[in-house]
Structure 1
Amino acid sequence: MKRTISKVLLTAVTAAVFLSSCSKAPDESRYIPKTAGLVIDLNAKQLTTKLVTNGITMDKLFAAAESKDTSNEMMKAWKDVENSGIDMQSHFFVSLVFQGQAAEHKSYVAATASLKDADKFEAYLKKTVADFSLKTQNDFKYIWEPKQHAVIGWSKSTVIYVSAVDASNLEQYAPGANGIPSPDEGEVAADSAIAAPAALKSTDDDAEIKTWVAEVDHLFHLKKEESAGAIEPFAKLLKEDADAGIFVNPEAIYNSGKFTMIPANVKKLMEGSFYTGTVDFENGKILFKGNTYMGKEIASIYKKYGKKEIDMDMLKKYPSENITGFVSYAFDFRMIGEIIKATGVDGIVNMAITGKSGLTMDDILNAFEGQLVYVASDFAITKKESEYFPGEFTEKPSAKWIFSLKVGNKDAFNKVMASPMVKEVFTREGDHYVAVNPMAAATMPPMSITEKFITLGSDSVLLQQYLAGKGSIKLPEGVEGKVKGSMLGGYVDLEKVINVIPEDKMSDDEKPVVKHVKELFKDFTVVSKNEGGDVQHAEATLTFKNKDQNSLVQLVNFGTEAAKIMQAKKAKEKAYEDSLFAAPADTTTAAQ
């Protein structure tokens, strides 16, 4: 009996653990190929739920449009989309796929979503797409959009949009950029150019259509091992079920024809490396998370040198309670040398360094431990008199600050300081180094260079206080606990930075926007730690003053208010311009 109960409990616990760790991936994700270099995921259900539950509707958003007519047009277009058959509560994926040589134009962008009603979607396309011409391929329908060089294909449950892109010149897709016409203008220009024979043009068009229809067909029928879901980091990203996510596959990008010049050993070094990131809008904050998955080659280098934590003493002895921000970093510079050696260019690097300094790459990298800190405080906008025009003052931002870098190997450091290039600038006096030229020293910030630290400061008083080590920084509650034990720690007090923005010189139209910004943000924190093995994890938090309301809602409210203010400003400017160019009243002067 006991044995039976034990088996039941064991089975239940195992099932619970399995289910909790294997949340279902969005159905739309299975149509993304593993050759995608970039994938963006928007969780529409979570995003809209967070807005709607806080009273944000599309009516409120469109109310901020430039004019009533524009707002009505936008609302009508949105209602059409809502009734288009697309599942607005699904995941929306956008993928950028790099493939083939650049001249072959095989790279493309794909958008994937779910359908609630395929018949409604077809009717929506008939209504909105000019020259709608329905075709069928295997188990899906499609239309060709010649203006966008795109195929829209759909089955009963999924829609896939594929459009060709020139991976060697993505900037050209910005309408009007750099004198490049918009898509419509481009077609007009093309039509007005030298006309190609109709039969030849038709053949080319047919070949292009067949190419992209075949690609859509391929995406609809991807095998499991062909999809991005077969890549473990991507699969893990989907299980996080964030509001938005991003996946980067560097290997898929540099293996495309666009990057054929990258040496094979560089590709080998980065093989198996991926990056994933998520964004979650929570009450009072936006949480960003990122994971860097290192491949075998780069992970072996990281395991040799990467296990470092920031030196909290370098941060905590900063003598101020009015901190604006800081960044602390622990990074073994010798890792850079290992990476350069792995790529096979260390000989070239050493030749370049030795020819000018007499040093080797290892000399320089061994000279520093890779512990650095930058701290700023007392940020303010102050009036400063011009050194060229006495009596004239300008307002400029100012702050107190310290930058400190820890020395590594003492012998290597002294060798660097005694090298031909450096000794022309600095010379040794006792246990420290000073500038050779007094005039040059006058233009440098106060500094201390010893065999232990290189430290620079905004002023000599602050520098000496920091070097004495008797000061004690006052960090906001919880910040020290977040950054302690990390490889990277950073903090910015946004409230202090934004509050010094002077409003007295702003127009009445600008003041409400600045006032709203001052009421919005509190601070920003970032940390990066090794998760063990081959994963580097980073988290960043943007905190809002209002802790009780969702951060996305606060951003939307700010955006709509700012839009209304800008709209009112434009209306005022237009009314003023109209009054200047208004025709005078007709008058008749009788000639006598």
Structure 2
Amino acid sequence: MIMQRNRITLALLTIAISGIVSCKSNKSGIAIPKDASVAVQVSTSSLTSKVSWEEIKQNEWFKKLYNEETDSLGKKIMENPASTGIDLKADLAFFIKKQNQGGYMAFEGGVQDAAAFEAFTTKVNKGGKVVKEGDVNVLATGLKSLVAWTNSRFIYIMDMPMATASARLNNSNPGSYEPFSFKTDSLQKFAVELFDLKGSDNLANDDRFAALTKEAGDIHYWVNAAQYDNALGGYLSMLKLNVLFEGNAYGATISFDNGKITMKSKSWYNKELKELMKKYAGGKVSEATINRIPSKNVVAAFAFKYPPEGLRDLIKLLGVDGLVNSFFSGVGYSTDEFIKANNGDMLIAVTDFEMKSRSITMEGPDGKPMTIEGGAPSPNANVLVATSVNDKPAFDKLFGILQSKAQEFQPYTKDIHFKLNNEWFAAGNSPEQVTSFLSGGNNNFEFTKRISGKAFGGYINIQQLLKTATAAATDSSAKAALDASINMWQDVYMISGGEENGAYTAEGEINLVDKNTNSLKQLNKYLDTITKIVSPKRNPYDAQVNLKYSDPAALSLAALEPALH
């Protein structure tokens, strides 16, 4: 049975990889229920020339997996995924759906040769019997999974328990609660229904999902937040927290472009949240705020511009205003004073990253403090958090409360230093940087223009992190892996957008060193390089025990295996 599941997993992984590197495709008629919790659609046509199956076959991890495969069918699939009968030109999709008391997950795509697909499927599932329901063929692959197909499409479907919070709490013995599971008879019903899914029930006809998939890109994913509210059994509505889920959806388009991996996200909100965001829209992070960072050695920076008065409306909308007011009154403060004190600019900066040996103080055998010097170098950096001041007297009161609380929680707060002037409050683990930030400055960072002018902007200097780690590496393989990473990864940028056609947008970008080659091809080469470095270092005993899982592809198979019982 385990060998059978391994073959199924191998086939799925091979098909998924080869499907996204195959030739151009037309629409495949993929059916995703409109109430799916999560959905992922791979647009194979947009990945046409980015990396080929032949290139993947040249990778060290692939060769190792192929050489270790003892089954002739497994080798055949790896040599030529099209031999399975699956249409490698058609789009692929994956989704998760809550269904009554339980749930299921499905992977679907196109069938090029129905006879070849049936031969492949029955051979993988030795002793399995194909049954027909109308024009749909069904073959159980386990007690809680099956594959169904027609002449043009296939669906692998498996049970995925999704217990609600109310079901757990209402159980007489929550500690031994077993979530509801679907057997193959129910899964067969769901699969057959998917082949005849009505247009009104198909996610493709949701205007929001349609707008998402119109974005040019390689992968589109979708999250229906309302389904998570349902999974919690309505408990969020007690505090009105359901407004964060009900009617909301999120999606993103991922593209493997030349020299970078980009992600463009869209968020759709319900009426209440949308009205709140429109009312307080327009905030922009200023260049001056970012350029105040006192160190030129910045490895990460995140800046926000928010309307403090909007916090009052938000906590009322969520029904937590009583809790927030109670918290503030407990320390002699109020929500109104907090809103009055803040001006809405916030900055978080991580600078001066280094690998540093530290001394550790602990209790010795005699009960007295004992200091241990040295040890392996560990990451160390200066962290600065700052927020702008609107009303100095109101912030003075808040500052006094913070000072009092810091004294209460010594020694945990002994390395945190904070100061206040008429414009800014700053806190950090470096007193020099806190003082320098309050004094003002203008470092004119290259990344400033990229992350300013929006309500949120973020930057991570991957190169600096990797180069610093490399300097402290002593193992030759670790150095080689870090060198390969330095030659691959550059930096990360993140910015929020505004409202566009009813959705709130944001963008993220992972930049690579090589700007001329598409990032998918670069990732393929990078994984091959890392595998060649890491594999020889494995313990021989581990290699014998974990032979099947000694490379990235096999690890993926191991992760997928439990789902294919």
* TM norm. shorter chain > 0.5: yes
Per-residue CA deviation, residues 396-423 of structure 1 (Å, 9 max, x unaligned), is 43344532111234454345446xx557
Partner of 2:443: 473
Partner of 1:189: none
Q: Name the SS of the counterpart of 1:130 in structure 2.
A: coil
The more displaced of 135-144 and 566-575 is 566-575
Kindly provide the amino acid, as one letter, of the partner of residue 509 in structure 1: S
Kindly provide the amino acid, as one letter, of the partner of residue 456 in structure 1: A
1:212 Cα offset (Å): 2.3
Kindly provide the amino acid, as one letter, of the partner of residue 41 in structure 1: Q
Contact 1:379 1:400 (C-alpha < 8 Å) held by counterparts: yes
Kindly provide the amino acid, as one letter, of the partner of residue 157 in structure 1: S
Partner of 1:197: none
Partner of 2:140: 144
Kindly provide the amino acid, as one letter, of the partner of residue 560 in structure 1: D
Contact 2:355 2:468 (C-alpha < 8 Å) held by counterparts: yes
Structure 2 distance, partners of 1:346, 1:254, is 21
Partner of 2:424: 453
1:363 Cα offset (Å): 3.2
Contact 2:229 2:246 (C-alpha < 8 Å) held by counterparts: no
Partner of 1:167: 162
2:498 to 526, 530, 534: 530
RMSD: 3.5
Structure 2 distance, partners of 1:157, 1:225, is 22
Kindly provide the amino acid, as one letter, of the partner of residue 55 in structure 2: I
1:482 Cα offset (Å): 2.2
Contact 2:288 2:442 (C-alpha < 8 Å) held by counterparts: no
Partner of 2:404: 424
Kindly provide the amino acid, as one letter, of the partner of residue 275 in structure 2: S
Contact 1:277 1:289 (C-alpha < 8 Å) held by counterparts: yes
Partner of 1:408: 390
Give yes or no for the alignment of 1:115 onto 2:114: no
Partner of 1:568: 536
Contact 2:250 2:267 (C-alpha < 8 Å) held by counterparts: yes
Contact 2:337 2:394 (C-alpha < 8 Å) held by counterparts: yes
Contact 1:42 1:245 (C-alpha < 8 Å) held by counterparts: yes
Q: Name the SS of the counterpart of 1:558 in structure 2.
A: helix
Would the alpha carbon gap of residues 277 and 358 (structure 1) be closer, same or farther in structure 2, given more than 3 Å must change?
same
Contact 2:386 2:425 (C-alpha < 8 Å) held by counterparts: yes
Would the alpha carbon gap of residues 287 and 29 (structure 1) be closer, same or farther in structure 2, given more than 3 Å must change?
farther
Partner of 2:258: 283
Partner of 2:331: 357
1:154 to 149, 156, 159: 149
Kindly provide the amino acid, as one letter, of the partner of residue 385 in structure 2: F
Query: How many residues end up aligned between the 2 structures?
Result: 497
Would the alpha carbon gap of residues 423 and 482 (structure 1) be closer, same or farther in structure 2, given more than 3 Å must change?
closer
Kindly provide the amino acid, as one letter, of the partner of residue 464 in structure 1: T
The runs of at least 4 aligned residues of structure 1 exceeding 6 Å deviation read 439-442, 571-577
1:555 to 523, 539, 547: 523
| Counterparts of residues 170-185 of structure 1 (less than 5 Å) | none
Contact 2:424 2:438 (C-alpha < 8 Å) held by counterparts: no
Partner of 1:229: 204
Structure 2 distance, partners of 1:312, 1:511, is 37
Per-residue CA deviation, residues 226-250 of structure 1 (Å, 9 max, x unaligned), is 1112222211122124211210011
Would the alpha carbon gap of residues 566 and 72 (structure 1) be closer, same or farther in structure 2, given more than 3 Å must change?
farther
Percent identity between matched residues is: 21
Contact 2:304 2:346 (C-alpha < 8 Å) held by counterparts: yes
Contact 1:326 1:491 (C-alpha < 8 Å) held by counterparts: yes
- Could you list the runs of 5+ residues in structure 1 that have no partner in the other structure? 1-23, 171-204, 426-434, 578-592
Partner of 2:434: 463
Give me the TM-score of the superposition, normalised by structure 2. Answer: 0.78
Per-residue CA deviation, residues 141-186 of structure 1 (Å, 9 max, x unaligned), is 2222333x1232212211122212111399xxxxxxxxxxxxxxxx
1:394 Cα offset (Å): 5.5
Structure 2 distance, partners of 1:450, 1:504, is 39
Would the alpha carbon gap of residues 362 and 69 (structure 1) be closer, same or farther in structure 2, given more than 3 Å must change?
same
Structure 2 distance, partners of 1:422, 1:481, is 33
Partner of 1:381: 355
Structure 1 distance, partners of 2:494, 2:220, is 18
Give yes or no for the alignment of 1:486 onto 2:454: yes
Contact 1:407 1:413 (C-alpha < 8 Å) held by counterparts: yes
Contact 2:60 2:531 (C-alpha < 8 Å) held by counterparts: no
The more displaced of 259-268 and 225-234 is 259-268
Would the alpha carbon gap of residues 397 and 509 (structure 1) be closer, same or farther in structure 2, given more than 3 Å must change?
closer
Contact 1:39 1:246 (C-alpha < 8 Å) held by counterparts: yes
Partner of 1:69: 68
Give yes or no for the alignment of 1:545 onto 2:513: yes
Give me the TM-score of the superposition, normalised by structure 1. Answer: 0.75
Structure 2 distance, partners of 1:511, 1:534, is 48
Kindly provide the amino acid, as one letter, of the partner of residue 389 in structure 2: V
2:298 to 319, 323, 326: 323
Structure 1 distance, partners of 2:337, 2:543, is 68
Partner of 1:31: 31
Per-residue CA deviation, residues 42-83 of structure 1 (Å, 9 max, x unaligned), is 234444631129x72324365452683349975433246421
1:113 Cα offset (Å): 0.4
Greater Rg by CA: 1
